[in-house]
Each structure stands twice: as structure tokens, then as C-alpha cells.
Amino acid sequence: MPESKVRPEAAEKKKLRRLEQVVDIQRDKERVGRPGERRWVPPVFLTVLLLGVAWIVVANIAAMSIPFMVVLGNWNILIGIGLIAVAFVLMTLWK
């Protein structure tokens, strides 16, 4: 069966759509093409999280024998919770 004649405008639109698809594919490759960009996030997240938990545990168990923790008093809990909050903010950076 013979093909019908295509209007020039329709052919141009079709070419433009193909070019846009190629450009979109290239943009996706550029975004995905950088592996390991944020490999530092999980180790730092875990370190800061464990540091916050350890701070709270040490403050509750042995604060009286550590001079600077005695001075901080109840601020020790805020420091520990702050470190944990920073860890969760860091986790949002991981892709």
C-alpha cells in the first residue's frame, strides 16, 4: 500500500521530537553517569548517628566522672539529640 504524502510541517515536527528525545536521553546519562558522587554520606551518617547515641549513653552513665560533661549538665542530652538530628539531615543527601 503506498504511503500518503506528509506535509512539510508535520515532518519538521517529527524531526524536532526525535531531537528532543535524543537530548533528553543525553541529559539523563549526564545525571546518572557520575557514580559515587556522594559515597561519603553513609559512613558520615553512621558515624555522626553513633556519636550522638554514644554521647547520650555516656552522659547518662558516666557524666559525673567526666569534668566537661559535669559542666554541661542537661545540655548533654541536647548535644546528643542534635548530633542524631544532623545525622538524619545528612541522610537526605544520599542518592
Question: Is the pLDDT at 95 greater than 60, yes or no?
Answer: yes
Residue 1 lies in a domain: no
| d(C-alpha 64, C-alpha 80), whole Å | 17
Per-residue pLDDT reduced to its tens digit, 14-28: 887 887 887 777 776
Per-residue pLDDT reduced to its tens digit, 36-72: 678 889 999 999 999 999 999 999 998 888 888 889 8
Residue 18 lies in a domain: no
Which DSSP helix (H) or strand (E) runs through 5? none
Domain carrying residue 86? 41-91
What pLDDT does residue 66 have?
87
pTM higher than 0.75 for the full model? Answer: no
Tell me how many domains the chain contains.
1
